[in-house]
Chain A
Amino acid sequence: METLIKELKEEIINELNLEDLTPDDIDAEAPLFGDGLGLDSIDALSLIVILEKKYGLKIENPDDGKQIFFSIRTIAEYIKANKK
């Protein structure tokens, strides 16, 4: 799980151009939107693309998005539970 979390952090920094951050700066438990990492709605779409492109996962129910994308750890848990 920790390897996946580190990989996700690197992927997000790279895809979302979070240039001033390193993986160590990102708290895996902290909220990605709002007070935490401060991501916006376009970043949310980019996260969906990362899940599809890198992990082959599609979120079938949009209502699940809020829970899945709450933090790096919740994304990692979703990947681990659903990746074939």
Chain B
Amino acid sequence: MVEKTYISGYCIIRNNSVLLNGETIFTCENSTEYNDFIKTAFRNQQNPYPKFFKMDNLSKLAFLTNVVMLKNSNIKEYKENEIAIIIQNASSSLDTDIDYFDTIKDKTKYYPNPSIFVYTLPNIMIGEICIRNGFKGENMLLISQKFNPSLLITMANDLLNNCKAKCCIAGWVEYEKKQEDKILQSPVYDSFLCLIQKKESGDTNIELNIENINKIYKNKA
């Protein structure tokens, strides 16, 4: 029998705003560039971590979403190997892949940049979260054209109901590169992470199902 699971907290970062459990906790003017927005939003959390500034755009987004989402959570109740992470996105690490390619495409200026190269895999964003928090549970990065809550719920419930994890951080973290030669002029970013547990705990306690997760993802809860 599949036991009920619950969303005990969630964070959304999009349109230069940070939302915790549906409430806007930080926002910048629409004209603010992504890079300035994400760094200012991180500093606003007063959670010093110099390595944040070395991360690529995608990892910064996932990392900050997780920092905010775990605020006031009961995550400390769990052991490091009981916490799983499942994240979906569409553009993989393409933003950074292109930046890295720029460092090697000219044979006369061939200087492969190691600090960019290390971010040319999308699951590095999960790694950054795990390194900071010491999480050692199951983790997975899924590439999907759009947010697929059905798959996310199935996988999270499978982990929780089969005792592979006691809680699961799950969601969608997407960063699409600004393409100056195309119509897309601004980077498209959209991040949503929620904390899923078997027990009712935390600020929200929303039963995990497709309808509810769609509501909170669209911020219509």
Partner of A42, one of B48, B53, B111, B115: B115
Chain A residues whose CB sits within 8 angstroms of the CB of B114 once the complex forms? 42, 45-46, 49
Q: At the interface, yes or no: A11 with Cβ under 8 Å from chain B?
A: no
Q: Does B111 contact A19, Cβ atoms closer than 8 Å?
A: no
Q: At the interface, yes or no: A29 with Cβ under 8 Å from chain B?
A: no
Q: At the interface, yes or no: A61 with Cβ under 8 Å from chain B?
A: no
Q: Does A17 contact B53, Cβ atoms closer than 8 Å?
A: yes
Chain B residues whose CB sits within 8 angstroms of the CB of A43 once the complex forms? 115
Q: Does B115 contact A15, Cβ atoms closer than 8 Å?
A: yes
- Give the secondary structure class of B's interface: helix
Q: Does B113 contact A42, Cβ atoms closer than 8 Å?
A: no
Partner of B54, one of A17, A52, A53: A17
B155-172 with Cβ < 8 A to chain A: none
Partner of B39, one of A18, A19, A38, A49: A19
Chain A residues whose CB sits within 8 angstroms of the CB of B39 once the complex forms? 19
Please, what's the 1-or-0 string for B46-64, where 1 marks a CB less than 8 Å from any CB in chain A? Answer: 0010100110000000000
Q: At the interface, yes or no: B118 with Cβ under 8 Å from chain A?
A: yes
B127-151 with Cβ < 8 A to chain A: none
Q: How far is the CB of A44 from chain B (nearest CB, A)?
A: 9
Q: Does B115 contact A46, Cβ atoms closer than 8 Å?
A: yes
Partner of B53, one of A19, A46, A49, A53: A19
Q: Does B53 contact A18, Cβ atoms closer than 8 Å?
A: yes
Please, what's the 1-or-0 string for A44-65, where 1 marks a CB less than 8 Å from any CB in chain B? Answer: 0110010011000000000000
Cα–Cα distance between A17 and B114 once the two chains are bound (Å): 13
Q: Does A17 contact B115, Cβ atoms closer than 8 Å?
A: yes
Q: Does B118 contact A42, Cβ atoms closer than 8 Å?
A: yes
| Nearest chain A residue, comparing its CB with the CB of B52 | A19
| Nearest chain B residue, comparing its CB with the CB of A19 | B53
Please, what's the 1-or-0 string for A1-20, where 1 marks a CB less than 8 Å from any CB in chain B? Answer: 00000000000000111111
Q: Does A20 contact B50, Cβ atoms closer than 8 Å?
A: yes
| Nearest chain B residue, comparing its CB with the CB of A49 | B111
A24-41 with Cβ < 8 A to chain B: 38
Q: 22 interchain pairs (CB within 8 A)?
A: A15-B115, A16-B54, A17-B115, A18-B53, A19-B39, A19-B53, A20-B48, A20-B53, A38-B50, A42-B114, A42-B118, A43-B115, A45-B114, A45-B115, A46-B113, A49-B111, A49-B112, A49-B113, A49-B114, A52-B111, A53-B109, A53-B111
Give me the 5 closest cross-chain CB pairs, A-B, nearest first.
Answer: A45-B114, A19-B53, A17-B54, A53-B111, A17-B53
Chain A contacts to B: CB under 8 angstroms: 15-20, 38, 42-43, 45-46, 49, 52-53
